């Protein structure tokens, strides 16, 4: 695509900041739905607020990306490998967006307003719509499983490039 | 000396095996699954009506429900258990749940039972209690013997006589909550929805005896309860649901709960609602009571199961207005 060697500073900050946020959100989500302990309510509250922050961040990140030059993938890669790499990145963007949106819609149709640390509240439906609740509740889970799978592939690929292919892919993001 | 202390230390630090929300709901639903129905308190009827607030509590909480005025609710009267067709009169516990949809940003859900206290103080021990109940009379007797914290509950149970109507029971919050006043000061409270009629147990017949009685009672006229809040003192523990607070504590009647219509649960709006007591409006907050804190994720698990069953058609679609 272009001849820069490295992702721009803004892209690297977005990448690592959001990588940490998304991994934390996934972990928190999986732990809290199983827990009956006192921290569950606290983590759930934080999960919802940070999930809303995530959708704002990924939107800003996406807009930022459109205006950036990004490093070309190594020439050694075959065409289908390049396509797979790009596709996986678009999927990651899509899921980073779909996760919080499905989470919010689940709460919206469950008629559960979201309290943002006592400062203000995000609105929800006045009356429960149980069918749409079920739809977005299940989507939130299914998308999470898809996201976990693709992130694992993504990390393996990054490590593969670095340690086996010994190319500049990982360095371009550091 | 150290050796002597060992059992005492072991007892003091002994904690029950931890269970997950999924394991808890599995235990509640038992071996027979009724798709589309609640895994607990499966049998119930929808009610609706209004809360007539006298404004007395508005000095203690900023929640709009407590301002002087009238707030409509959707509610549900139910009995404990996993079976949506169980006989009304066999159940040991009767319940009332309320949902106030005040605005797009303010909702309040409440789920209350007839006992004023729990037998145990945390969800993991509660799991063992349910296991013991399912195992039979000998097991539950042994369970209570091993759990001295169940004393107040047992004292209540020994004198409790189920009445002849949903209208003549007292429904308790059991768990405590904080009211937050306009200055941000918090006050721990529990509440009871108290009957204004007495109905003696009769020889009512049929699996739906209580529901039928309530439906005809409401047809004849409004059913009214007093909503009484008890304010904790600094010496009271708001995080232990096995201990009642002394009778000398200040009580405030916030107003009246008036039920003016009933419908079958699949015909009213209540079946779709998850009466999760941790859905709270501004001005009311959760205490750290381990029982209360366990409820949100267990209710969510049960709600997820029944909601998905309704979506996928495992259950015939109930009408929801
Ligand atoms: C980056 C964004 C997000 C990620 C990665 C994420 C991830 C997860 C995961 C993995 C679970 C556990 C699902 C399961 O095991 O079935 C979960 C549950 C949940 N999430 Fe999110 N989530 C995100 C955003 C949100 C948002 C924005 C909200 C609401 C505003 C939300 C609300 C919830 C709720 C309420 C649950 C628990 C549902 C239940 O107990 O039934 N999430 N989330
Ligand atoms: C923690 C381990 C991670 C490592 C080592 C890693 C590494 C990398 C590397 C090396 C690239 C550049 C690929 C290229 O040159 O085309 C990249 C891009 C990307 N990563 Fe990660 N990543 C990690 C976690 C994540 C997570 C958790 C997410 C989000 C869910 C994520 C989302 C993305 C996206 C969307 C891109 C494409 C950027 C663009 O082209 O706009 N990464 N990552
Ligand atoms: C750790 C403690 C508890 C657990 C795990 C638990 C679990 C559950 C579950 C899974 C449901 C079904 C939710 C649904 O599908 O909508 C339920 C319903 C209910 N629970 Fe609990 N519960 C607990 C304590 C209590 C206490 C202390 C009370 C009373 C103060 C209570 C009163 C109710 C009522 C009234 C309902 C029925 C609400 C309705 O009509 O929908 N529960 N409970």
The per-residue pLDDT for B321 is 33
A129 → chain B, closest CA residue: B272
Nearest atom, ligand 1, residue B304 CA: 41
The per-residue pLDDT for A1 is 44
Q: What average pLDDT is seen over chain B?
A: 93
The per-residue pLDDT for A3 is 55
The per-residue pLDDT for B306 is 96
Nearest atom, ligand 3, residue B78 CA: 40
A133–B310 C-beta distance less than 8 A: no
Residue nearest to atom 28 of ligand 1 (CA): A103
What is the arithmetic mean of pLDDT over B66-86?
96
Nearest atom, ligand 2, residue A159 CA: 5
What is the arithmetic mean of pLDDT over B134-153?
95
Nearest atom, ligand 1, residue A51 CA: 27
pLDDT digits (tens, 9 = 90+) for B168-195: 999 999 999 999 999 999 999 999 999 9
| Banded pLDDT at B92 (limits 50, 70, 90) | very high
φ, ψ of residue A97 in degrees (nearest 5): -85, -45
A138 → chain B, closest CA residue: B308
pLDDT digits (tens, 9 = 90+) for B309-318: 999 987 754 4
Q: Check if A25 has its Cβ closer than 6 Å to any atom of ligand 2.
A: no
Q: CA-CA distance, B151 to A93, in Å (whole number)?
A: 56
Residue B144 pLDDT > 50, yes or no?
yes
Tokens in use for A23?
């991994």
What is the CA(A98)–ligand 3 centre distance, in A? 31
**Closest-CA residue to A25 (of A50, A59, A58):** A50
> Between chain A and chain B, how many beta carbons pairs sit less than 8 Å apart?
98
**Which of A79-83, B98-102, B165-169, B248-252 comes out lowest in average pLDDT?**
A79-83
Name chain B contacts of A38, Cβ cutoff 8 Å.
Answer: 288, 290, 293
Q: Check if A65 has its Cβ closer than 6 Å to any atom of ligand 2.
A: yes
Q: Check if A89 has its Cβ closer than 6 Å to any atom of ligand 2.
A: yes
- Sorted by where each starts, the structural domains of chain B and their CATH numbers stand as 20-123+156-312 (2.40.180.10)
Nearest CA-CA distance, residue B21 and chain A, Å = 5
Q: How far is CA B219 from CA B208, B209, B212, B224, in A?
A: 16, 16, 11, 13
Q: Helices marked H in chain B — which ranges?
A: 2-13, 21-29, 123-135, 137-146, 151-159, 209-220, 290-311
Q: CA-CA distance, B272 to A133, in Å (whole number)?
A: 10
Tokens in use for B66?
């407590």
Nearest ligand for residue A150 CA:
2
Of A36, A123, A124, the CB nearest to B123: A36
Name chain B contacts of A45, Cβ cutoff 8 Å.
Answer: none
Which residues have C-beta within 8 Å of that of residue A161, sequence separation ≥ 6?
A74, A167, A169, A170
CATH number, domain A9-173? 1.20.950.20
Nearest ligand for residue A36 CA:
3
The per-residue pLDDT for B165 is 96
Percent of chain B scored above 90 by pLDDT?
89
Q: Which residues line ligand 3 (CB under 6 A)?
A: B 24-25, 28, 38-41, 44, 76, 78, 95, 97, 111-113, 118, 123, 126, 173-175, 274-275, 291, 294-295, 298-299, 302-303, 306
The per-residue pLDDT for B56 is 97
Quick check: pTM over 0.80? yes
Residue B7 pLDDT > 70, yes or no?
no
Q: Which of A4, A9, A17, A19 to mutate to test the pocket of ligand 2 (most atoms within 8 A of CB)?
A: A19
pLDDT digits (tens, 9 = 90+) for A30-71: 999 999 999 999 999 999 999 999 999 999 999 999 888 888
Q: Check if A172 has its Cβ closer than 6 Å to any atom of ligand 2.
A: yes
Residue B1 pLDDT > 80, yes or no?
no
Q: Which of B27, B41, B94 to mutate to test the pocket of ligand 3 (most atoms within 8 A of CB)?
A: B41
The per-residue pLDDT for A70 is 86
pLDDT digits (tens, 9 = 90+) for B202-239: 888 899 999 999 999 999 999 999 999 999 999 999 99
| Banded pLDDT at B14 (limits 50, 70, 90) | low
The CA dihedral of B181, B186, B187, B190, to the nearest 10 degrees, is: 90
Q: Is the Cβ of A30 closer than 8 Å to some Cβ of chain B?
A: no
Residue B319 pLDDT > 70, yes or no?
no
Spans in chain A with pLDDT lower than 50: 1-2
Q: Which of A47, A48, A102 to mutate to test the pocket of ligand 1 (most atoms within 8 A of CB)?
A: A47
**Closest-CA residue to A81 (of A13, A169, A22):** A169
SS3 A108: helix
């Amino acid at each position: 695509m272009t001849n820069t060697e490295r992702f721009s500073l803004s892209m690297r900050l977005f990448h690592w900041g959001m990588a940490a946020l998304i991994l934390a959100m996934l972990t928190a989500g999986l732990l809290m739905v199983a827990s009956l302990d006192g921290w569950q309510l606290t983590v759930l509250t934080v999960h919802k607020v940070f999930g809303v922050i995530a959708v704002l961040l990924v939107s800003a990140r996406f807009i930022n990306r459109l205006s950036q030059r990004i490093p070309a993938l190594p020439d050694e890669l075959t065409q289908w490998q390049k396509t797979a790499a790009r596709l996986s990145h678009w999927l990651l963007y899509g899921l980073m967006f779909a996760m919080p949106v499905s989470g919010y819609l689940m709460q919206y149709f469950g008629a559960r307003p979201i309290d943002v640390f006592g400062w203000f509240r995000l609105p929800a439906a006045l009356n429960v719509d149980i069918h749409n609740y079920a739809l977005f509740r299940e989507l939130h889970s299914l998308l999470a499983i898809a996201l976990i799978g693709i992130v694992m592939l993504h990390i393996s690929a990054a490590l593969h490039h670095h340690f086996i292919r010994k190319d500049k892919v990982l360095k371009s993001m550091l | 000396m150290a050796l002597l202390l060992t059992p005492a230390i072991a007892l003091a630090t002994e904690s029950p095996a931890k269970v997950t929300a999924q394991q808890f709901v599995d235990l509640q639903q038992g071996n027979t699954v009724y798709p589309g129905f609640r895994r607990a308190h499966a049998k119930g009827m929808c009610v609706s009506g209004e809360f007539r607030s006298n404004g007395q509590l508005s000095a203690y909480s900023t929640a709009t429900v407590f301002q002087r005025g009238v707030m409509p609710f959707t509610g549900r009267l139910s009995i404990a258990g996993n079976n949506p067709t169980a006989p009304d009169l066999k159940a040991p516990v009767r319940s009332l749940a309320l949902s106030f949809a005040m605005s797009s940003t303010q909702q309040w859900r409440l789920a209350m039972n007839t006992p004023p206290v729990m037998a145990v103080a945390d969800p993991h021990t509660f799991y063992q209690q349910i296991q013991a109940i399912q195992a039979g009379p000998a097991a539950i007797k042994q369970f209570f013997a091993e759990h001295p914290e169940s004393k107040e509950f047992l004292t209540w149970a020994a004198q409790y006589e189920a009445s002849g109507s949903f209208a003549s029971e007292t429904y308790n919050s059991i768990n405590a909550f904080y009211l937050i006043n306009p200055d941000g000061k918090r006050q721990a409270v529990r509440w009871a929805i108290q009957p204004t009629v007495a109905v003696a147990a009769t020889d009512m017949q049929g699996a739906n005896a209580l529901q039928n009685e309530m439906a005809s009672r409401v047809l004849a006229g409004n059913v009214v309860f007093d909503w009484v809040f008890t304010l904790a003192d600094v010496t009271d523990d708001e995080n232990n649901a096995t201990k009642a607070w002394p009778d000398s504590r200040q009580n405030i009647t916030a107003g009246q709960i008036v039920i003016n219509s009933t419908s079958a649960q699949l015909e009213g709006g209540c079946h779709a609602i998850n009466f999760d007591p941790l859905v709270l409006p501004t001005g009311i907050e959760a205490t750290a009571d381990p029982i209360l804190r366990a409820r949100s994720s267990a209710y969510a698990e049960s709600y997820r199961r029944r909601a998905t069953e309704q979506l996928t058609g495992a259950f015939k679609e109930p009408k929801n207005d």
